[in-house]
């Protein structure tokens, strides 16, 4: 029983240490990307799919994902600079 408590405490401690700011930001970004891609994936799976509308949605999605990519590069740069500061 004591071993289980110690192991449980270490597990909780490890989880607490692994949840960093960068990890949380990554989860938020991935969630946002999935929210953006879901409507397109659902519409592409329909039997009565409009190819022209799907193409337009793909162009919009590509644009949104490009912007997210730029923002993540900016965030990565900021975090890298933060690590260099004393």
pLDDT above 90 coverage of the chain, percent:
15
How much is the pLDDT for 11?
72
Mean pLDDT of 47-75: 88
The helix (run of H) or strand (run of E) holding residue 31 is helix 21-44
Show me where the domains of the chain are located.
50-86
Contacts of 72 (CB under 8 A, 6+ apart): 29
**What is 69-80 written as a DSSP string?**
HHHHHHHHHHHH
3-class SS at 47? coil
pLDDT digits (tens, 9 = 90+) for 16-58: 766 777 788 788 888 988 998 998 898 888 888 888 888 999 9
């Amino acid at each position: 029983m004591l071993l289980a408590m110690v192991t449980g405490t270490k597990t909780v401690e490890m989880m607490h240490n692994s949840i960093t700011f960068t990890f949380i930001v990554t989860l938020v970004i991935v969630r946002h990307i999935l929210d953006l891609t879901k409507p397109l994936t659902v519409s592409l799976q329909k039997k009565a799919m409009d190819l022209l509308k799907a193409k337009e949605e793909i162009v919009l999605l590509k644009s949104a994902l490009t912007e997210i990519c730029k923002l993540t590069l900016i965030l990565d740069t900021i975090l890298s600079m933060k690590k260099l500061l004393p």
